Amino acid sequence: MFPGTGILAAADPMDHIADKPLFDGLLTDGSGLDRISSALYELGITKQVALFFIAGILTVLFFWSYVRQIRRAPGSVPGRWGNLVETILDTIRDQLILPFMGQSGMKFLPVLATFFVYILICNLIGLIPLLDYVGHGGNTATANYLITPALALCAFVLYHGLGIKEQGNIFTYIKNLFPHVPVVLLPLIIVIEIAAHIIRPCALAIRLCANMVAGHVMIAVLLSFTAAFTTDFLIGGGLITLISVIAVTLLTFLELLVAVVQAFVFTFLTTVFLSMAVHPDH
């Protein structure tokens, strides 16, 4: 039959977002694709990791034509694609960098724009409908509970590293990590601040992963109503299918909004932590 027919009638909605080998389920007869996917799986490259790499390449391509035009003729009017890139960069500059770090924070614009566009592209790839047919697993890279902590770790290293670089050496940075309070409160403040610094990247990771997982599981559950009802009641199953398809369409629009908002929230929090690391103003 068609490759991947098991998906829409999958018994377990969590199967819809689980991670699987790259071409799993496509051709399972020991052919070339099957052996490639098991070899890649030994290396750790599953479907979601491969999509994460592809999203990286797409992020570079996103900025490519705009950067080439601006480098060739600085100050020129951007074309249609450059207009989109400039909208994103202007939003990051006006809403994130200038309120928190002022003009001296403009040197952090490239890395924050990269975080935003990378997570946005990863989230949006997860909403492409029939990419599930390439393999059995899910295609949202940021719904993987191992990939989002990797992103949060990148943000953690970024803001601490840039804070250390801005303040000279690591001892000044550690001294500035804790607010200046009377000595009697200092042990409590140290414990609270260390706990806060550890929990912040964990919260970043869990927030992104759980939002993506929850949205896709809702879509899978509503879609599975169709299969569950139509096998028993044909006429009633038709009505349920109509309701289910309308609900899934509306949910997918909501998921588009959630994809953009979660990318923005990740970048927003990274900017806030970066501003606290670079200019501690206790």
Partner 1 sequence: MGMPIEFLSVFSNVLAQAAATPNGLYAAIGAGLAAIGVGLGIGKLAASSVESIARQPEAANDIKGAMILTAAFIEGVGLFAVVVAFLAKG
Q: Are 126 and 212 in contact (CB under 8 A)?
A: yes
Q: Residue 21 forms beta bridges with which residues?
A: 46
What angle, 0 to 180 degrees and rounded to 10, lies between the N-to-C axes of helices 147-166 and 47-72?
40
Q: Are 57 and 152 in contact (CB under 8 A)?
A: no
Q: Binding of partner 1 at residue 100 (CB under 8 A)?
A: no
Helix (H, G, I), strand (E, B) or coil at 223: helix
Please report how close the Cβ of residue 189 comes to partner 1 at its closest, in angstroms. Answer: 24
Segment contacting partner 1 by CB under 8 A, of 40-48, 171-179, 204-212, 238-246: 204-212
Q: Cα dihedral angle (84, 89, 95, 96), rounded to 10 degrees?
A: 140
Please report how close the Cβ of residue 207 comes to partner 1 at its closest, in angstroms. Answer: 4
Which residues ranging from 22 to 41 are in contact with partner 1 (CB under 8 A)?
none
Segment contacting partner 1 by CB under 8 A, of 26-34, 65-73, 174-182, 208-216: 208-216
Q: Which residues contact 168 (CB under 8 A, 6 or more apart)?
A: none
Q: Residue 46 forms beta bridges with which residues?
A: 21
Which residues ranging from 129 to 148 are in contact with partner 1 (CB under 8 A)?
none
Please report how close the Cβ of residue 153 comes to partner 1 at its closest, in angstroms. Answer: 18
Q: Which of left, alpha, beta for 25 (phi over 0: left; psi -120 to 50: alpha)? A: left
Of positions 139, 144, 211, 226, contacts partner 1 by CB under 8 A: 211
Q: Binding of partner 1 at residue 93 (CB under 8 A)?
A: no
Of positions 210, 218, 221, 228, contacts partner 1 by CB under 8 A: 210
Q: Which residues contact 118 (CB under 8 A, 6 or more apart)?
A: 55, 56, 59, 151
Of positions 206, 218, 221, 228, contacts partner 1 by CB under 8 A: 206
Please report how close the Cβ of residue 266 comes to partner 1 at its closest, in angstroms. Answer: 10
Q: Cα dihedral angle (187, 192, 198, 202), rounded to 10 degrees?
A: 170
Please report how close the Cβ of residue 32 comes to partner 1 at its closest, in angstroms. Answer: 37
Report d(CA 267, CA 275) in Å as an integer: 12
Q: Sketch the per residue contact string, 151 through 190, with partner 1: x for CB under 8 A, - otherwise.
A: ----------------------------------------
Q: Binding of partner 1 at residue 203 (CB under 8 A)?
A: yes
Helix (H, G, I), strand (E, B) or coil at 69: helix
Which residues ranging from 233 to 272 are in contact with partner 1 (CB under 8 A)?
257-258, 261-262, 264-265, 268
CB nearer to partner 1: give 242 or 250.
Answer: 250
Q: Which residues bind partner 1 (CB under 8 A)?
A: 95, 203, 206-207, 210-211, 214, 257-258, 261-262, 264-265, 268
